Amino acid sequence: MKKKGRFAFYGKHGMLLICSVVILLPLVYTVCNSFMATSEINHYYAGINAQNGTTAFHLIPDMFSLDSYYKVFVGRPDYLMKFWISLFLTSAIVIGQLIISVLAGYALAKFALPFRNFFMFVIIALMMMPYQVTLVSNYIVLEKIGLLNTYWALVLPGIFSPFGVFLMRQILSTMPDAILEAAKLDGANQFQLIRKIIVPSCKSGIVSLVILSFIDYWNMVEQPLIYLDDPTRYPLSVFLAHFNSSNLGLSFTCGVLAMIPVLLLFWLFENDLTKGIAFSSLK
Amino acid sequence: MRTGIKHRGLTMAKRNKLIGFALFSPFLIGFVVFYVAPFLLSVVYSFTKGVVEFTFVGFDNYTEVFESPAFQIAATNTFKFLLIGVPLIMVLSILLALVLHRAFRGVSWYRSIFLLPLVIPVASAVMAFQVFFAYSGVVNTWLQQIGLVPINWLDSDMAFSLLVGLYIWKNVGYNIILLLAGLNGIPDELYEVSRLEGATRFQTLRYVTLPLLMPTMFFVVIISIINSFKSFREAFLLSGTLPHTSIYLLQHFMNNNFENLNYQRLSVAAFLTFLVIISLVCVYFFARKKFFEYEM
């Protein structure tokens, strides 16, 4: 009996440990390699593009160096420019999405709108579509209203997020109506209701929407490739995707740079994020 | 005597409806312009031919797409990905959720670690991935050191397995969170009863935990299917617009047709994808009503 318990204990921790290593390895590897000097990178990855070369597993820098960071920050202003473009675009989308989603989610959860269930069904269905489904037609619509090749083409469609509305609606429908009724009797107007009751009560939803859609748009690849003609205006995500192994050192560094904003959000709001994700369940 | 409370000439109920509609309308407008209208437009496209002048051609585009080898490969791969990826990620995430549900030292650490890939930009991780799986990369070097033949990871059928791996790596954390929430929703009394009746741990799992977790598991399956459609991003980052045949997905098909300005073919593929997804959603709603009797 005791032996079996010990076996289960080691089995459990063994499994968790292996899974964690597999999950963390690509991240740790990227971070560690970003602290290597260019010469070290060139030395260790000399064989990677060769026909029959070999590449050793090289995790710990021989010598800690901020070489590539220096190069990214000082030598190549375009890398940094991409970073700011990404940050600007993503923030604009997330903020817009938040406002629209809270209002619409509140309306769907607490007002007797006509066709309310039909709207929910359409929202859920469209939430599940891959981007490619509406790609062409969106392209044509954007062309018609003259937004193609502007950043608006990325921001505007992003703001109207079915997922955001869905999430807010799920959270707000668990909130008892009595709270709203009481506030109304005290003479609160809609603006006060939203600011003082609705927003605080979907805090976990707001936080997880911010994080999830920040990640989603921080990583956007499809939209810029299609809606923007000029590659110099692409955000960091597309830029990273076009990296090749000829410039591995800088790629690692840019990869780390791209992780920083999301890791920061994650570190600050992990608890709310888990709560919000749990709410996104349709149950 | 008047019925209902009047306020500036409107009854309360009517006024309320108006406010609700006003709150909803910003989203509705954008939603129609950027989702619904484009979608309807592309349905119309799928039945027409021509670039400047559109003529109605019935199901011609559909038969053409169905017969095209590229579409067949793309559709087969997408479904194969679904059929292999979703069961794998389900088993793994249920297993991990059951383990992480109990409190033990370090449990919150593990939960954070599993959620991490969700936040990390895929592009950042793909770099390390390429170092590992390039033909002259780390993994093949290891294989050679133990006397095995190197594998062409990204340019053979192995690319498919890699993509499945990347999909699991990325999404297992999200599933675990959903399942943990489901596990937390199972009342403690039920565990108490099964303990008092002398059930073994396996019996408790089999007759208490898993049946009560069914609704959540069902939802997680749906979410996993959605996420599997999103794996195009990973495939694209891993090997561009024309990857190895084994990971040529429906989204590649659509993207490439877009670049060749073949809108009709793209619209057909888009509409077919939509039909598949919408039937999944319908099955979900139907099954939930039928089996779980939950109210949304």
User: Is residue B64 located within the same domain as residue B40?
Assistant: no
- Mind listing the pLDDT tens digit for each residue in A174-212? 888 888 888 888 888 888 888 888 888 888 888 888 888
Closest CA to B284 of B231, B224, B215, B227: B215
User: Is residue B16 located within the same domain as residue B81?
Assistant: no
Mean pLDDT for B40-55 is 78
**pLDDT value at position B57?**
82
**pLDDT value at position B97?**
92
Q: What's the number of domains chain B is made of? A: 2
CATH code assigned at A169: 1.10.3720.10
Question: Using CA atoms, how far apart are residues B35 and A231, in angstroms rounded to an integer?
Answer: 26
User: Is residue B120 located within the same domain as residue B67?
Assistant: yes
Closest CA to A134 of A113, A109, A162: A162
User: Is residue B142 located within the same domain as residue B206?
Assistant: yes
User: Is residue B254 located within the same domain as residue B176?
Assistant: yes
Query: Would residue B50 count as lying in a domain?
Result: no
Mean pLDDT for B84-111 is 90
Which residue has better confidence, B281 or B1? B281
Contacts of A134 in chain B (CB under 8 A): 34-35, 38-39, 42, 270
Question: Using CA atoms, how far apart are residues A250 and A80, in angstroms rounded to an integer?
Answer: 12
Which of B114, B121, B216 is the closest to A219 by Cβ? B121
Does B136 sit within 8 Å of A53, measured CB to CB? Answer: yes
B186 touches chain A (CB under 8 A): no
Query: Would residue A60 count as lying in a domain?
Result: no
Query: Would residue B52 count as lying in a domain?
Result: no
Across chain B, mean pLDDT equals 83
- Mind listing the pLDDT tens digit for each residue in B223-281? 888 888 888 878 877 777 778 888 888 888 888 887 777 778 888 888 888 888 888 87
Q: Which residues sit opposite B52 in a β-bridge?
A: none
Q: What pTM was estimated for this model as a whole?
A: 0.84
Q: What's the number of domains chain A is made of? A: 1
User: Is residue B21 located within the same domain as residue B127?
Assistant: no
User: Is residue B34 located within the same domain as residue B85?
Assistant: no
Are the CB atoms for A124 and A190 separated by under 8 Å?
Answer: no
User: Is residue B135 located within the same domain as residue B242?
Assistant: yes
The b/e string for A30-59 (b: 16+ C-beta within 10 A; e otherwise) is bbbbbbbbeebbeebbebbeeeebbbeebe
Query: Would residue B193 count as lying in a domain?
Result: yes
B103 touches chain A (CB under 8 A): no
Inter-chain Cβ pairs, chain A and chain B, closer than 8 A: 293
Does B140 sit within 8 Å of A136, measured CB to CB? Answer: no
Are the CB atoms for A61 and A214 separated by under 8 Å?
Answer: no
- Mind listing the pLDDT tens digit for each residue in A15-41? 889 989 988 988 888 888 888 887 787
User: Is residue B98 located within the same domain as residue B135?
Assistant: yes
Does B125 sit within 8 Å of A255, measured CB to CB? Answer: yes
Question: Using CA atoms, how far apart are residues B122 and A237, in angstroms rounded to an integer?
Answer: 9
User: Is residue B175 located within the same domain as residue B275?
Assistant: yes
Phi, psi of B48 (to 5 degrees): -125, 170
ipTM (interface predicted TM): 0.81
Using a pLDDT cut of 70, give the percent of chain B over it: 93
Q: What is the pLDDT along chain A (283 residues), one digit of tens a residue?
A: 455 677 778 888 888 899 899 889 888 888 888 888 877 877 777 777 767 777 777 778 887 888 888 877 887 777 788 888 999 999 999 999 999 999 999 999 888 888 888 888 888 888 877 777 777 778 888 888 888 889 998 999 889 988 889 888 888 888 888 888 888 888 888 888 888 888 888 888 888 888 888 988 888 877 888 888 888 888 888 777 665 556 777 788 888 888 888 888 888 888 888 888 887 775 5
Cα B167 to chain centroid distance, Å, stands at: 10
Question: Using CA atoms, how far apart are residues A214 and A261, in angstroms rounded to an integer?
Answer: 9
CATH code assigned at B260: 1.10.3720.10
Query: Would residue B1 count as lying in a domain?
Result: no
Using a pLDDT cut of 90, give the percent of chain B over it: 15
Closest CA to B88 of B224, B201, B283: B224
Nearest CA-CA distance, residue A77 and chain B, Å? 19
- Mind listing the pLDDT tens digit for each residue in B166-209? 999 999 998 998 899 889 888 888 888 888 888 888 888 888 88
Q: Which of 200-219 (A) contact B at CB < 8 A?
A: 211, 215, 218-219
User: Is residue B22 located within the same domain as residue B125?
Assistant: no
The parent domain of residue A187 ranges over 72-279
User: Is residue B20 located within the same domain as residue B155?
Assistant: no
The parent domain of residue B26 ranges over 6-45
